[in-house]
A and B are shown apart, each in its own frame.
Chain A
Amino acid sequence: MKLTGAQVIWECLVREGVKTVFGYPGGANLPLYDAMLDYPVHHVLVRHEQGAAHAADGYARAGGGVGVALATSGPGATNLVTGIATAYMDSSPIVCITGQVASKFIGYDAFQETDITGITLPITKHNYLVTEGRDLTGVLREAFYIARSGRPGPVLVDIAKDAQQASIDWEYDDRPIRLPGYRLDVHPLSKSLQQAVEMIQSASRPVILAGQGVLLSGAMNELREFAEKERVPVAMTLLGIGGFPSGHPLNLGMMGMHGEAWVNQAIQQADLLLAMGMRFDDRVTGNLKTYAPDAKKIHFEIDPSEVGKNVKVDLALVGDVRESLTQLLPHLQPGDHSEWIDYIQEMRGDSTVRDILNLPDNGHLYAAHVVNDLWRLTHGEALVVSDVGQNQMWTAQYYKHDQPYTQITSGGLGTMGFALPAAIGARFARPEAEVWAIAGDGGFQMTQAELATAAQEDIKVNIAILNNGYLGMVRQWQEFFYERRYAATPMKSPDFVKIAEAHGLTGLRVTERSEVEAAVRQAQDTPGTVLIDFRVEQEDSVFPMVPAGADLHNMIRRPLPEVLVETAQSDL
Chain B
Amino acid sequence: MIGSMIRKSLTVRALAELGEVGELFWKTLRNLLKRPREHQTLLQQLEEIGVRSMPVVSLTAAFGGLVFGFQMYISFHRYIGAGSEAYGGPIITLGLAKELIPILVGLMISGRVGSSMAAEIGTMKITEQIDALHSLGANPVRYLVVPRALAAFFMMPCLVLYGDIIGIAAGFFYNVVVMGVNRIVYVQNTTQYLELWDVMTGLIKAAVFGVVIAIVGCWQGMKTEGGAEGVGRATTRTVVISSITILILNFFMSKFLPASLTGQ
- A and B: real partners? no
Chain A residues within CB distance 8 Å of chain B = none
